[in-house]
Amino acid sequence: MPTNRAEHRAQRRRMSVEERREQIVNAAATLFDKHGYAAVSVDDIAEVIGIAKPTLYYYFSSKTDILDAIHAAVSDFVHARFHDPARQSMSTPRQLFEAMADTLEMNVALPGYQRVYVEHSRELADATREIRRERRDLYRSLVAGLLHRGIEEGIFQVADVRLTTHQILGMVSYSYQWYSADAFPPPREIAVVFWQNMMSGIATPAYLAENPTMALPA
């Protein structure tokens, strides 16, 4: 057992600054997701990782600083995927599908992050909150741009791009509230179902033939 403890300490010492920061952010995201931001202290995060509180402060100046790192990671994740060079040759519909799949796949790639991102932005410092808001709005405009392009290409028929953008992003962004690997298929399979429902709707051909204007039901 002493040897195992010594090996564990040696392994911790071998971690780079970025690896340690990532470890801290991952632990914090898990705790914030489970208990809420306000209920978790820096001591709690340090204890889970197995480091001293002063050591944690070497990597992050405050709990709010860790929270900002979580928000930055979520934003970086979707922006990096959106701008992946491999996607530039994809059709507009496929790029839109991939954007939907990205957020769903975040439930697995960055567990706990999405809840923190959605529910704990008000706790960010004023300056960083504005930066994160601008980054979020930029991503929303990128998705809206795909809808506009699809309209120009004669592929999409959208009555209100702004509302449809919110619909699409809301559909996937709040998946953290119900998704679990035990209860649902993999995120990409969920994205396919969402995509098919969005593109073809859930009404049968017979219903659409009887209600071509899609008037609200009586």
What CATH number should be reported for the domain holding residue 48?
1.10.10.60
Joined together, the tokens standing for residue 122 give: 């008000």
- Answer for the pair 106, 74: CB distance below 8 angstroms, yes or no: yes
End-to-end CA distance of the chain: 72
For residue 31, give its domain range. 2-62
166 is a domain residue: yes
What does pLDDT average to over the chain? 92
Q: Do 11 and 93 share a domain, yes or no?
A: no
Number of domains into which the chain is organized: 2
Confidence band of 2 (pLDDT split at 50, 70, 90): very low
Q: Give me the mean pLDDT over the 195-207 stretch.
A: 89
**What are the Cα distances from residue 136, in Å, to 157, 161, 166, 185?**
25, 17, 12, 27
Cα 145 from Cα 142, distance rounded (Å)? 5
The predicted pLDDT at position 4 comes to 57
213 is a domain residue: no
Q: Do 71 and 48 share a domain, yes or no?
A: no
| pLDDT tops 70 at residue 160 | yes
Q: Which of 22, 47, 62 is the last residue of a domain?
A: 62
Report the range of poorest mean pLDDT among 11-20, 65-74, 113-122, 146-155: 11-20
Compute the CA torsion angle 32, 35, 36, 41 (nearest 10 deg): -70
Does the predicted model carry a pTM greater than 0.85?
A: yes
209 is a domain residue: no
- Answer for the pair 165, 100: CB distance below 8 angstroms, yes or no: no
Joined together, the tokens standing for residue 192 give: 């396919």
The predicted pLDDT at position 193 comes to 96
Q: Do 173 and 95 share a domain, yes or no?
A: yes
Q: Do 151 and 168 share a domain, yes or no?
A: yes
| pLDDT tops 80 at residue 9 | no
Share of the chain above pLDDT 90, in %: 83
Share of the chain above pLDDT 70, in %: 94
Confidence band of 10 (pLDDT split at 50, 70, 90): low
Q: Do 7 and 80 share a domain, yes or no?
A: no
